[in-house]
Amino acid sequence: MSDTAISLAATASGNSCARRIARAWLRSAAWHVAPWLLPTLLLALWTIGSERGWIAPQILPPPARVYDTLVELARSGDLASHTLISVQRVLVGFGIGTLCGFALGAGLGLSRTLEAYVLPSFNAVVQIPVLGWLPFLLLLVGVGEPLKYILIAHAALVPVTLSTLQGFRQAPATLDEVARGYGYSRWQRIVHVVLPAAVPTLATGVRLAFTKAWLALVVVELVASSEGLGYLIVNGRQLFQLDLVMAAVVVVGAIGFVVNHLLDSLEARLRRGRPSAFRE
């Protein structure tokens, strides 16, 4: 009798063990599937809604048509040419803005005198958003490429300048003291103490600058442009081709998403690759 009791207990525990493993497996599967639930649900609703005629295609074209439009745009080469123009604008504007921002931020960060003279004016100018400058620049330089470069550069300049200024001010006092003890020159201290300490803040600034630059690009192209992704959106809207609008929005979102992830991983790598003295 005691034997049967033991064997019964053994099978029961074996059963519950298997059940527990199954449950854990299910839970982990649900955990991995969960992020896809919402997009899938929305897509399903969208598809079914447009098939059944709940949603008028003038309001929201069916996903298949958006996809077809996207493929067609890609095949005809229009997508590539518009994307290339947009990317080129962002790269030029972002490059100019980031470089000027580094220079300005470094100047302000290293010299209290310069800061006292320039920072108040800088702060005042920053209060005016990119869109506020648009009509002013439109009158001043016209609708050409310089307008886009200036606005995108301005959008990127502000975060880079502020984060460079902040980054240059946050070198640990102890490290600076050590550097002085070793008789480092001012230049050596900047290169070996101030800059390494500023790297993470700079990286954050650059990432933020890209987000702002991409936003500025879309705005400028929506308002004043005859080519580029933003123009595709406006054009589609004017022709009431919402499939074109959505296709272009998808591309804008995808590029922003990919570049942001790249910059994210770059930032993480920069943080990890620093000398141990500078890690938090």
Partner 1 sequence: MRFLSTLRLPRGLNRSAHQGPPPCDCVSPPPRQQRRLAKTFVASRGLLLPVVALALWSIVAALHLVKSGLLVSPLAVLQTGWQQTVSGALLRALSASLAREASGFVIGTVGGLLLGSLLGFSRIARRMVGPSFDTFKQISLFAWIPLISVWFGLGDAAKVVFLSLAALLPVTAHTCDGIHAVPRSYIEVARAFRYSRLQLVAHVILPAALPSIFTGLYLALIYSWLATLGAEYLLVSGSGIGNLLIDGSEQFRMDLVLFGIIVVGLTGWALNALARRAERALFARRPFGAS
Shortest Å, Cβ 124 to partner 1: 7
Q: Note whether 218 binds partner 1 by CB under 8 A.
A: yes
Q: Does 144 bind partner 1 (CB under 8 A)?
A: no
Q: Tell me the closest approach of the beta carbon of residue 94 to partner 1, in angstroms.
A: 14
234 is an interface residue for partner 1 by CB under 8 A: yes
- Cβ 198 to partner 1, closest distance in Å? 12
**Binding flag, residue 246, partner 1 (CB under 8 A):** yes
The reply to whether 108 sits near partner 1 by the rule CB under 8 A is no
176 binds partner 1 (CB under 8 A): yes
Measured at the CA of 136, the angle between CA 87 and CA 142, to 5 degrees, comes to: 60
In the 3-class helix/strand/coil scheme, how is the chain assigned residue by residue?
Answer: CHHHHHHHHHHHHHHHHHHHHHHHHHHHHHHHHHHHHHHHHHHHHHHHHHHHCCCCCCCCCCHHHHHHHHHHHHHHCHHHHHHHHHHHHHHHHHHHHHHHHHHHHHHHHHCHHHHHHHHHHHHHHHCCCHHHHHHHHHHHHCCCHHHHHHHHHHHHHHHHHHHHHHHHCCCCHHHHHHHHHCCCCHHHHHHHHHHHHHHHHHHHHHHHHHHHHHHHHHHHHHHCCCCCHHHHHHHHHHCCCHHHHHHHHHHHHHHHHHHHHHHHHHHHHHHHCCCHHHCC
Q: Is residue 279 involved in binding partner 1 (CB under 8 A)?
A: no
The rounded radius of gyration (Å) of the Cα atoms in the chain is 28
Instruction: By CB under 8 A, tell whether 107 contacts partner 1.
Output: no
Least distance to partner 1, CB of residue 80, Å = 19
As measured in angstroms, the least distance from the Cβ of 205 to partner 1 is: 16
Q: How far is the CB of 120 from partner 1 (least distance, A)?
A: 3
Nearer to partner 1 (CB atom), residue 4 or residue 121: 121
Find the binder of partner 1 among 4, 11, 121, 276 (CB under 8 A): 121
Decide: is 231 part of the binding site for partner 1 (CB under 8 A): no
Chain residues binding partner 1 by CB under 8 A are: 31, 34-35, 37-39, 58-59, 110-113, 116-121, 124-125, 127-136, 138-140, 169, 171, 173, 176-177, 180-181, 183, 186, 214-215, 217-219, 222-223, 230, 233-234, 236-237, 240, 242, 245-246, 248-249, 252-253, 256-257, 260
